[in-house]
């Protein structure tokens, strides 16, 4: 291919619009009530990409995902990770090649909330309407 063709194809690629985001639900990022850390959305993204693996006090972070295909997981990927699904999949392929596996998955919001309420090192996300006093909300995402 001529250089001009390559440049044209690249320009067309850049002009291709990104997929539109549908309406979102409000999520609560939750931790154990004794965990006082303040987290921003970037911190949460780094944690769930397993780039950040330790709390400030040195304890290992236990991140909890929802199952793929659930509305909570889809909203979390859009609002927090903000990555194209293909790029996200490629990222985890590369991590797997390095021996790093994705966060653990729990099947329900109730399970995530119970786990976080019981484990001082855990972090998870649930629908805002499911928040109660057993956990501490560190971030509201909508």
Can you give the binding site for other proteins, defined by CB under 8 A?
A: 1, 3, 6, 9-10, 12-14, 16-22, 42-43, 45-46, 51-54, 58, 60, 67-69, 73-74, 77-78, 82-90, 92-94, 96-99, 101-102
Question: In the complex, what is the shortest distance from the CB of residue 91 to other proteins, in angstroms, rounded to a whole number?
Answer: 9
**With contact defined as beta carbons under 8 Å apart, do 90 and 97 qualify?**
no
Q: How many other C-beta atoms can be found within 10 angstroms of the C-beta atom of residue 125?
A: 27
Question: What span, in angstroms and rounded, lies between the C-alpha atoms of 128 and 25?
Answer: 8
Give the nearer residue to other proteins in terms of CB position, either 44 or 126: 44
Is 65:105 a contact under the CB 8 Å cutoff? yes
Closer Cβ to other proteins, 3 or 34, answer by number? 3
Identity of the residue, 99 or 132, whose beta carbon is nearer to other proteins in the bound complex: 99
Instruction: Tell me the C-alpha distance between 15 and 4, whole Å.
Output: 17
């Amino acid at each position: 291919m001529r250089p001009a063709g390559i440049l044209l194809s690249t320009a067309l690629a850049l002009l291709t619009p990104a997929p539109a985001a549908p309406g979102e639900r409000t999520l609560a990022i939750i931790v154990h009530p004794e965990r006082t850390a303040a987290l921003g959305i970037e911190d949460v993204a780094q944690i769930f990409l397993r780039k950040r693996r330790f709390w400030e006090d040195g304890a290992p972070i236990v991140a909890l995902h929802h199952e793929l295909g659930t509305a909570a997981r889809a909203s979390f990927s859009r609002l927090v990770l903000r990555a194209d699904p293909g790029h996200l999949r490629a990222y985890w392929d590369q991590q797997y090649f390095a021996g790093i596996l994705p966060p653990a998955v729990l099947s329900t919001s109730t399970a995530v909330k119970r786990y976080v309420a019981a484990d001082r090192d855990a972090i998870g996300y649930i629908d805002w309407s499911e928040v109660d006093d057993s956990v501490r909300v560190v971030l509201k995402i909508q």
